[in-house]
Amino acid sequence: MTVIPALPYPFEVPDVSRLALVVIDMQRDFVEPGGFGEALGNDVSLLRVAIGPIANLLAAFRARGLPIIHTIEGHRPDLSDCPPCKLQRGGGNVKIGDTGPMGRILILGEAGNGIIPELAPRDGELVLTKPGKGAFCRTDLESWLLARGITHLLVTGVTTEVCVQTTMREANDRGFECLLVEDATESYFPEFKQATLAMVRAQGGIVGWTAASSTVLAAL
C-alpha cells in the first residue's frame, strides 16, 4: 500500500504497479512562446511553470518502470474527425486547421501539435492522440488501462479547467481513482485552476484528490 497525503484525505494506492502517470496536452502550440496560445493573447509562461514538476514525475515513473501516458489534442488534416461545433467555436478569425505560427492549428503532425522537447515521450510510453478535450473520448484509453490492470491515475498537464478536468471526470465515471498534481497542471487563467482544484476535491473528493508533486514523489 502506497499512501499519498492529499486533499480531501489520503490517496491510497493498494499496488503501485496499478498506478499510471497521465501527461495531458503539453504541446508546443499551447506552451511555447510564439505558438498558437500566445497568438491568442495568452501568457504562456503561466503554463510553463508546470514543466519542471511534470519532468520530475516522469523521471520517477521511468525509474520505477511504471506506465506513462502522453496525450495530444489534434485532428486529421482533412478535419473529418473534428465536429462542426468545435470547428466553429469561439467566433474568432483563426480556427482549427488554419495556419498558425507553428503550422496548421491542432492538426496532427504539425510542428506546433507536438509535445515540447522537455517532456518528450520515450519508447514504450503511450502517446494518445485525441480529437476532443477528454482523453477517453473516441480513444482506446479505457481498454488500454483495463488490459494492464491500472486502477489509479496521477493526472498532470494543461489546461487545468478544460482537458485536464474533463479527463478526470471521464476517468471518475469509469471507476478510475485520480489524483490531480497541483503544481504539475496550469491554466492561462490562475483563478480557473484554483476553482478546478476546489471542485475536484469538494464533497469528499467527488471527482478525485489533489496534492503537490513533492508530496507525491516523497510517497513514491
| Residues 113 and 103 sit within 8 Å (Cβ to Cβ) | yes
CA dihedral 143, 148, 64, 52 (to 10 degrees): 10
Residue 98: active-site member: no
Q: Which of 204, 218, 179, 188 is nearest to 60 (CA)?
A: 218
* Whether 81 is catalytic: no
Q: Which three cell numbers stand for residue 72?
A: 495530444
Q: Which of 82, 130, 133, 178 is catalytic?
A: 130
- What phi and psi, each to the nearest 5 degrees, are found at residue 74? -170, 170
Of the candidates 29, 82, 133, 163, the residue annotated as catalytic is: 163
What is the largest distance, in Å, between two alpha-carbon atoms of the chain?
52
* Nearest CA among 188, 125, 132, 122 for reference residue 163: 132
Active site residue 130: yes
Q: Which residues are catalytic?
A: 25, 130, 163
